[in-house]
Amino acid sequence: MRTLSGVGSTPLSGVGTARWYRPDALDLPERPAPETVDPARERERFADARETAREGIRRARDRTAERVGEDEAAVFEAHEQFLDDPQLVEAIEDAIDGGVPAEHAVDDAFGEAVAQFEGMEGRMAERADDLRDVRDRLLRALLDAGTGDLAALPPGTVLLAERLTPSDTAELDPGVVAGIATATGGRTAHAAIIARSLAIPAVVGVGDALADVAEGATVLVDGEAGEVVVDPDETRRAESEGLDAPVVEERVTTADGRPVEVAANVGRPAELDPAVARGADGVGLFRTEFLFLDRERPPDEDEQYEAVTAALSAFPGERVVVRTLDVGGDKQVPYLDLPAEPNPFLGRRGVRLSLDEHADLFETQLRALLRAAAHDGGDLCVMVPMVARVEEVEAVLDRVGSVAADLDDEDVEYAVPELGAMVETPAAVHVADALAERLDFLSIGTNDLTQYVMAADREHDGVADLHDPLHPPVLRAIDRTVSAAHERDAWVGMCGEMAGDPALTELLVGLGLDELSMSAVTVSAVKERVRAVDTDAAAALADEVLACETRAEVAALLS
């Protein structure tokens, strides 16, 4: 087993057989003497190659728009414009008229343009990649070279490459490609964005060491850890076990018939289709931050309405749990002008901001959500993050009431969705009964709950051993929350990494969770586990686990 480090680009993992993609086999023939070149014929060859390239770019554009999204497809519009760039076209045609064959003319003109952009920072380097992509299309057409059969790879392929272009990536079938590892590239490159949207595990920027991985080797790509593991051992494989499980589309129950909903966490619209494809029963956590980050002003009500109804339409009749805006001192939102905080995770984040200085944003969001709740065939649930006090929930309910009254006055169609709170602070655990009394559901956010219960920063490597939900205090907090909610007839879900670990499914069912929500990629594996669970045995296991005093004892029971 050998581990290479890179940058995790798609936070999923996959194992497969290594295949090298070497598109650089675009070898130009020897440059002939100018007098032997027929410019008229070369111009025609260039024109034909341009049309072939154009068709390819348009196909890639359409495929990406359909499978990934319009935003990601926009890069191919830029490619078409490079293809038509008057400077490039003129340089190529001039060279041809001077006796240079079309392929050399293309290579020279693009080579010069690439050199201009190369070595520059950030976006300019990406432009160089785009230009190379267009150049290669033209050269392939001129040299009659194949595309390296990216569209016809055998199932279970881990694709290795020096670099991948956006065009290459759009060609890939997520059902066939188990992972991607590239020597160069960063996680914001277009190819990486497309891979992420297609839910293909990817690690980029591995460097020269990647070249030593042999064709045909068994390779694990861990896009979460940013690692490429050659000949992974059983333990390492087990970490990604279940990711290749067949898709279970239908709802599942335990072996003795207790239904457990298995839903997906969704962070942006492009993740909706993969979530459906992976068999999710609905959305257990729809983050709304993507609507607010990286822009100049907040989204308006209609934009938010569209985004939420898109999620509802992706899952007709299924529950979609939308989390209201969860920003705080740790996330940059320029127009909110949030002051830097010494302890952002203990500062003004989540519902604290929504109820106070950004009440206007919250009201707009609630209006959009109440309107979306009236959407045909949808089952919208809304939850607020970072709740610590009963008063906060009461204030939220007040706001919902007044927004509903406004919509009523304006004769706007709306419905009041099911309302819930995220339980991620120890405070919320201790008042879970009072919260559940006022709400329809609770959803346990285990990443933050663990951080706050254990007083261990989740980003801090030095306390990583504390940041583990299997510590008894965290498990007891979960148990307490579930029991309190059920006593008040509220349902309880869990979103967070813990919910998506198939090894913990039996325990979580035993603890009484009604819904588990996770990265789409583990949905089917968890469903398989749910089917095998006997609820009495699971409850007995949970009792035993809750009696443990140390993490080691818990781990021993679960192994």
Partner 1 sequence: MERTVEVVPEAGLHARPASQFVRTANQYDAAVRVGRADEGDDGLVEGNSMLAVTGLNVEHGESVRLVAEGEDAAAALDALAAILTTPVEADDGEGDAEGDGP
Core vs surface per residue 417-446: b (16+ CB within 10 A) or e: bbbbbbbbbbbbbebbbbbbbebbbbbbbb
Active site residue 381: no
Question: How many Cα atoms within 13 Å fall on the side-chain side of residue 285?
Answer: 30
**CB closer to partner 1, 131 vs 243:** 131
| Closer CB to partner 1, 213 or 361, in the complex | 361
How far is Cα 312 from Cα 299, in angstroms, rounded to an integer?
Answer: 19
| Nearer Cβ to partner 1 (18/194) | 194
Neighbours of 207 (CB within 10 A): 12
74 contacts partner 1 (rule: CB under 8 A): yes
Asked if 498 and 517 count as a contact pair (C-beta separation under 8 A), the reply is no
Instruction: Please spell the DSSP secondary structure of 328-371, one letter per residue.
Output: -TTS--GGG-PPP-SSGGGSS-THHHHHTTTHHHHHHHHHHHHH
Instruction: State yes or no: residue 120 binds partner 1 (CB under 8 A).
Output: yes
Amino acid at 135: R
Q: Specify the stretch interacting with partner 1 by CB under 8 A; choose among 21-29, 122-130, 240-248, 365-373.
A: 122-130
Instruction: Tell me the closest approach of the beta carbon of residue 519 to partner 1, in angstroms.
Output: 7
Binding of partner 1 by 108 (CB under 8 A): no
Single out the residue of 448, 479, 501, 506 in contact with partner 1 (rule: CB under 8 A). Answer: 448
Q: What whole-number distance in Å separates Cα of residue 158 and Cα of residue 8?
A: 15
User: Taking CB under 8 A as the rule, does residue 346 contact partner 1?
Assistant: no
Rounded Cα–Cα distance for residues 262 and 281 (Å)? 6
| Single residue of 182, 519, 522, 535 touching partner 1 by CB under 8 A | 519
* Burial of 276: CB neighbours in 10 Å, binned 0-12, 13-18, 19+: middle
Rounded-to-integer distance, Cα 263 and Cα 266, Å: 10
> What is the pattern of x (binds partner 1, CB under 8 A) and - over residues 400-429?
----------------------x-x-----
Q: CB nearer to partner 1: give 225 or 404.
A: 225
- Of positions 11, 39, 174, 344, contacts partner 1 by CB under 8 A: 11
Asked if 337 interacts with partner 1 (CB under 8 A), we say no
- State how far the Cα of 15 lies from the Cα of 444, in Å rounded to an integer: 31
Catalytic residue among 79, 104, 190, 358: 190
| Cα 184–Cα 121–Cα 180 angle in degrees, nearest 5 | 20
User: In this structure, are residues 423 and 481 in contact, taking their beta carbons and an 8 Å threshold?
Assistant: yes
From 40-48, 248-256, 289-297, 530-538, give the range in contact with partner 1 by CB under 8 A. 289-297
Q: Are 131 and 114 in contact (CB under 8 A)?
A: yes
Is 193 a binder of partner 1 (CB under 8 A)? yes
From the list 118-126, 176-184, 483-491, 526-534, the region that binds partner 1 by CB under 8 A is 118-126
**Contact letters for partner 1, residues 311-330 (x by CB under 8 A):** ------------x--x----
Query: Which single residue is written with the structure tokens 């219960």?
Result: 453
Partnered with residue 319 across adjacent β-strands are 379
Question: How many CA atoms lie less than 13 Å away from 505 in the CB half-sphere?
Answer: 27
- The rounded distance, in Å, linking the Cα atoms of 232 and 3 is 8
380 contacts partner 1 (rule: CB under 8 A): no
Check residue 3 for interaction with partner 1 (CB under 8 A).
no
Q: Does 71 bind partner 1 (CB under 8 A)?
A: yes
Count the site residues for partner 1 by CB under 8 A: 59
Could you tell me which residues are beta bridge partners of residue 262?
516
Q: Is 196 in the site for partner 1 (CB under 8 A)?
A: yes
Specify whether 460 is catalytic: no
Query: Would you count residue 285 as binding partner 1 (CB under 8 A)?
Result: yes
Binding mask 264-283 toward partner 1 (x if CB under 8 A, else -) reads: -x-xx--x------------
Tell me which residues touch partner 1 (CB under 8 A). 10-11, 71-72, 74-75, 77-78, 81-82, 84-88, 113, 116-117, 120, 123-124, 127, 131, 187-188, 192-193, 196-197, 224, 265, 267-268, 271, 285, 287, 289-290, 293-297, 323, 326, 385, 422, 424, 443-448, 494-497, 519
- Active-site annotation, residues: 190, 495
